[in-house]
Amino acid sequence: MTEDLDSAVGQVLAKLDELGIVDNTFVIFTSDNGYHGWNEGLEPLRGAKWWIWDGGLRVPLIVRGPGVPQRSRSAVNVVGYDWLPTFADLGGASAHVPKDVDGVSLKPVLLGQPVSGSYANRALYFHYPHYRVSPPASAIIIGDKKLLHFYEWPDQNFRYDLQGDLGEKNNIAAANPEESAQMFSQMMSRLKSVDAYFPKPNPKADPKMKKYDPNNLADQGDFGPADPSDK
């Protein structure tokens, strides 16, 4: 699969050379979610697709285009919905982007330009209020700070320092109560402001149903996929 992917990307790049449009074409390589399987070479990341652990959120992002410094790297957090304002900005059409659209233009990041602290540390929100192979949960990421909330655990939050704990193994919420409470409040305010759906207790739920334990690093959930073909 990796060989086929590499070959396909090479064909696209070769065609751009052939057409003579390399100087005004951006090529973006990325994904919409983390890898499908939990324990399949994702270390040190925890989780996978359908989870709000970083194993389900972090994806590759490689960009080639005019003005992008070769071999450059950036540690600024970005998210998929940034691409609409980014493409509009690169194409000189920012004035046509609605003011309330989600995301920001990544143009300064792509071109290696300095960005403000508020830009680099803006809050990113992730909301998964369903049961699938993971339980309902939400997360907020601000720079290297991340807080997760699992709705089966209403009285507990899970706070991690991604710079020193990329595997999300050391919950520091109790050691940082004020900051954790502020991040949780900010996240919930944002979700409510966009009328997000929240899970509700099911009075008919099977009492034998397994409850996911975020404190147990070995617990991988698995509440059953919506479609057997997804497994």
Amino acid at 44: P
Report the alpha-carbon angle 126-140-37, nearest 5. 50
Q: What tokens appear for 199 in the block?
A: 């899970």
For the question of whether the overall pTM of this predicted structure is more than 0.85, the answer is yes
The candidate with the shortest Cα–Cα distance to 151, out of 184, 108, 194, 113, is 184
- What letter does residue 211 receive in the DSSP assignment? P
| For range 18-38, the mean pLDDT | 90
Q: Is the pLDDT of residue 216 over 70?
A: yes
The pLDDT tens digits for 131-189 are 888 999 999 999 999 999 999 999 999 999 999 999 999 999 999 999 999 999 999 99
- CA 100 from centre of chain: 20
Task: Using alpha carbons, list the distances in angstroms from residue 10 to 22, 47, 145, 220.
Answer: 13, 31, 37, 37
Q: Considering only residues 221 and 65, tell me which one the structure prediction assigns the higher pLDDT.
A: 65
- pLDDT recorded at residue 146: 98
The pLDDT tens digits for 64-119 are 999 999 999 999 999 999 999 999 999 999 999 998 898 999 999 999 999 988 88
Q: Is the pLDDT of residue 3 over 70?
A: yes
How many CA atoms are closer than 13 Å to the CA of 130, on its beta-carbon side?
8
Task: Report phi then psi at 24, rounded to 5.
Answer: -135, 30
According to the per-residue pLDDT averaged within each range, which of 46-50, 162-166, 217-221 is highest?
162-166
- pLDDT recorded at residue 222: 63
Q: Strand, helix or coil at 137?
A: strand
> Do residues 57 and 49 lie in contact, with contact meaning Cβ atoms separated by under 8 Å?
no
- pLDDT recorded at residue 227: 43
Q: Strand, helix or coil at 54?
A: helix
- pLDDT recorded at residue 29: 95
| For range 201-226, the mean pLDDT | 79
Taking all residues of the chain, what is their mean pLDDT, rounded to a whole number? 91
Domain ranges of the chain: 122-231
Fold (topology level) of 122-231: Arylsulfatase, C-terminal domain (3.30.1120)
> Do residues 77 and 57 lie in contact, with contact meaning Cβ atoms separated by under 8 Å?
no
> Do residues 201 and 208 lie in contact, with contact meaning Cβ atoms separated by under 8 Å?
no
Phi/psi zone of residue 35: left (φ > 0), alpha (ψ -120 to 50 degrees), beta? beta
